[in-house]
Amino acid sequence: MSTSQQPDPRDRPARLTVGVVGAGRVGPALAASLQLAGHRPVAASGVSDASRRRAGHLLPGVPLVPPAEVLRRADLVLLTVPDDALPALVAGLAETGAVRPGHLLVHTSGRYGTRVLDPARRAGALPLALHPAMTFTGTPVDVQRLAGCSFGVTAPEELRMAAEALVIEMGGEPEWIAEEMRPLYHAALALGANHLVTLVAQSMELLRAAGVTAPDRMLGPLLGAALDNALRSGDAALTGPVARGDAGTVAAHVDELRRHAPQTVAGYLAMARATADRALAHGLLKPELAEDLLDVLAEGTARPGGAPGPGGTDAGDDEGDAR
């Protein structure tokens, strides 16, 4: 790499002492990644036994102390508490005088930008919102997964370079998110990641009920391919009975789900309606097949015997496709 391609040292944060308030799954992993970049974790706070174990595993030798003491010891403080707890935590730290001028306060909430840190900013803190777009396990594998992970970054303009530099030091890729766009950004991630876990877990339960002994092994290649296709092609990757307009097959699905797993019917119908809307809008679902399909979805009931709707077969243009 040529000298001109080397990062300018002036753009990198100075070596910092790091504290973690809220030793859940995220905070210790981020602190451990900052440690790899040369920063020094000095304190963490955690209430539950699980939090204490995680901190001890990922940050060995780092003392567990009350939140105010974390702020007293650290230059950079990671506020890694649940979204709903963040405003009260910030207000409390500011009111008790725990925040000092020059403190780098970093929260990892996807929902909030930096306005939630205003009480601390008025006390002289430097506010940053750095949200890793990643699911965390609370184990050392999280530190490895940060390599190449996108972070939603929001910060005052004068702190933008410092915020992005910290993300890069953790191995991440900074993605700038405007303050007013944070809730929409977070909703998009929750829609994709959180709901995906629910869908996969439900699918595995249904496969077990159908007699499949290794549903994870069956779903792995299928879901991996579906995800890859969706990321590459968007709606053009839609396949399966809804996109084909196979109303009879969808009706049979609803009938079977009502008999074997009624708790999944509402989710199936909601996702099928959303899929049908997108398939119609992108010309994948033929309008002449859509009417019967939408009737099935609106009724939420199966046709007698699960018979196909008019013109509907289970092959269509995508014969044999398992999705």
Q: If DSSP states are collapsed to H, E and C, what string results for 51-106? A: HHHHHHHHCCCCCECCHHHHHHHCCEEEECCCHHHHHHHHHHHHHCCCCCCCCEEE
Q: If DSSP codes are grouped into helix, strand and coil, which group holds residue 273? A: helix
The matching CATH number, chosen from 3.40.30.10, 1.20.1640.10, 1.10.3720.10, 3.40.50.720, for 3-177 is 3.40.50.720
Report the pLDDT value the prediction gives residue 136, as an integer from 0 to 100: 92
Q: If DSSP codes are grouped into helix, strand and coil, which group holds residue 320? A: coil
Report the pLDDT value the prediction gives residue 127, as an integer from 0 to 100: 98
Distance CA 70, CA 66 (A): 6
Report the pLDDT value the prediction gives residue 54, as an integer from 0 to 100: 85
Least Cα distance to 111 among 146, 137, 82, 142 occurs for: 82
Distance CA 21, CA 32 (A): 14
Walk along the chain (323 residues) and give the pLDDT tens digit of each residue.
444 444 443 344 579 999 999 988 999 999 999 999 999 999 999 888 888 888 888 999 999 999 999 999 999 999 999 999 999 999 999 999 999 999 999 999 999 999 999 999 999 999 999 999 999 988 899 999 999 999 999 999 999 999 999 999 999 999 999 999 999 999 999 999 999 999 999 999 999 999 999 999 999 999 999 999 999 999 999 999 999 999 999 999 999 999 999 999 999 999 999 999 999 999 999 998 999 999 999 987 443 333 334 333 333 333 334 44
Element (H, E) at 196: helix 195-209
The model carries a pTM of 0.81
318: CB partners within 8 A, 6+ apart: 239, 240, 243, 244
Question: 150-154 and 40-45 as β-strands: parallel, antiparallel, unpaired?
Answer: unpaired
Report the pLDDT value the prediction gives residue 1, as an integer from 0 to 100: 41
Domain edges within the chain: 3-177, 185-318
**Which tokens hold the place of 152?**
């939603």
